[in-house]
Amino acid sequence: MEDPTSVLFQRALGLVPPWEVANITFDAERHRLDIQLSFDRGARFACPEGDSDDCPVHDLTEKEWRHLNFFEHEAYLHAKVPRVRCAKHGVRLIQVPWARAGSGFTLLFEALAMVLMREMPVKAAARDLEAHGGKAANVFSFSSDLHRPYRLGIQEHFPNATLTLDRYHVVQLLNRAVDEVRRREQRTAPGLKNSRYTWLKKPSKLTTRQSQDLLYLRDRYRQTGRAYELKLKFDDMWSLNSEMAPGYLVAWCSEVRRSGLEPLKAFADSIDKHRYDVLRWFRTHISIGVLEAINGLVQAAKRRARGYRTDRHYIAMIYMTAGKLNFELPT
């Protein structure tokens, strides 16, 4: 018969076969909960390179991850993670479903830490991270927009972290620049009125009618058409590898400066100033898309409550709203 406690934690952690809870150790004095995970003997795993789903286990590597607190108790996951033997790629460490490769934190812990940093001053978020058993010195990557206070806070309180400019915020700034070119040309070209979203949509998202309208507009209104062409070229950069992207970005900024389009020139100057933070995306591939989704849940709960009296209550609400906690008892 299965241990009800193990089943409860297995459901709370969202584990699926072959992974299961093997043992739970609770230390009341240290307010610490250690959960040992294991897998069925003889289980086979996918190669992390993605070409085989049925690789035998070669050996095991002991790993530990900081998880969300269970109430006031620090929680840690432990597992002997298999290295599999792939016929094509040799021996590879598998990707566990609850954490990113190389991270000492579970995905839920990372996501909620990001929400705290979005909602609280960076210094307070760093302090809360330390209070939950994490170490600011062990945070190595951030994704953010160009908001200066965020950047300064990260530099001061997370000394080992590098910043990756969020790709979607960069694209948003470019779209604003393209629309500003349209607005300026519209002053002498009324035919551009009500065409904003035609220029800003991805070509693949346009209807047949919108695609036909765009061809006409690009040919007739040269300034906005040129801005749109440069926007498409910038979008092409994201499909390049980390070796080709730097040269492409430098060439793109030079082309924009020769275009004479002031809103795009201002965008290019800003991007060039933060070039290395933009290009870091090609190595980290991190963004704040997940954070934006979680933050939507948090903001909705915040509005319903009309604010929270203390940070403690606010943090508890974030756990309850976005933590995917499962309070169902096993049956």
The domain total for the chain is: 3
The answer to whether residues 13 and 70 belong to one domain is yes
For residue 231, being part of any structural domain is answered with yes
Same domain, 38 and 54: yes
In this predicted structure, what is the pLDDT of residue 40? 85
Predicted pLDDT at 66: 78
Compute CA distances 326 → 71, 99, 187, 316, 322, whole Å: 13, 19, 57, 15, 11
Instruction: Give me the residues of the chain with pLDDT under 50, please.
Output: 1, 327, 329
Overall pTM surpassing 0.75 (yes/no): no
CA angle 22, 28, 32 (to 5 degrees): 55
Cβ within 8 Å of residue 272, ≥6 positions away: 250, 253
329 falls within a domain? no
| Whole-number Å distance between alpha carbons of 107 and 229 | 39
Question: Is there a domain that residue 227 lies in?
Answer: yes
Give pLDDT tens digits for 18-66: 888 888 887 777 878 788 889 888 888 888 887 788 889 999 989 888 7
Q: Determine the structural domain holding residue 142 and report its residue range.
A: 108-165+287-322
Nearest to 125 by CA among 328, 314, 331, 255: 314
Secondary structure class of 315 (helix, strand, coil): helix
Give a yes or no: residue 279 inside a domain. no
Instruction: Give the DSSP letter of residue 62.
Output: E
Regarding whether 41 and 190 lie in a shared domain, the answer is: no
DSSP 80: E
Q: What pLDDT is attached to residue 158? A: 80
Residue 165, burial from CB neighbour count under 10 angstroms (0-12, 13-18, 19+): buried
* Predicted local distance difference test score (pLDDT) of residue 161: 82
- pLDDT tens for 100-119 read 665 555 555 665 565 555 55
Last residue of a domain, one of 57, 75, 104: 104
Q: Are residues 80 and 223 in the same domain?
A: no
**Cis peptide, bond prior to residue 82, ω within 30 of zero:** no
User: Pick from 71, 104, 137: which residue ends a domain?
Assistant: 104
pLDDT of 329 reads: 47
Q: How buried is residue 277: exposed, middle or buried, by Cβ count under 10 Å (0-12/13-18/19+)?
A: buried
Helices and strands per DSSP (H, E), number in the chain: 14, 7
One domain for residues 261 and 172:
yes
User: What pLDDT, on a 0 to 100 scale, did the predictor assign at position 308?
Assistant: 58
Place of tokens 């910043």: 163
Residues 6+ apart with CB under 8 A from 227: 177, 178, 181, 182, 199, 259, 261, 263, 264
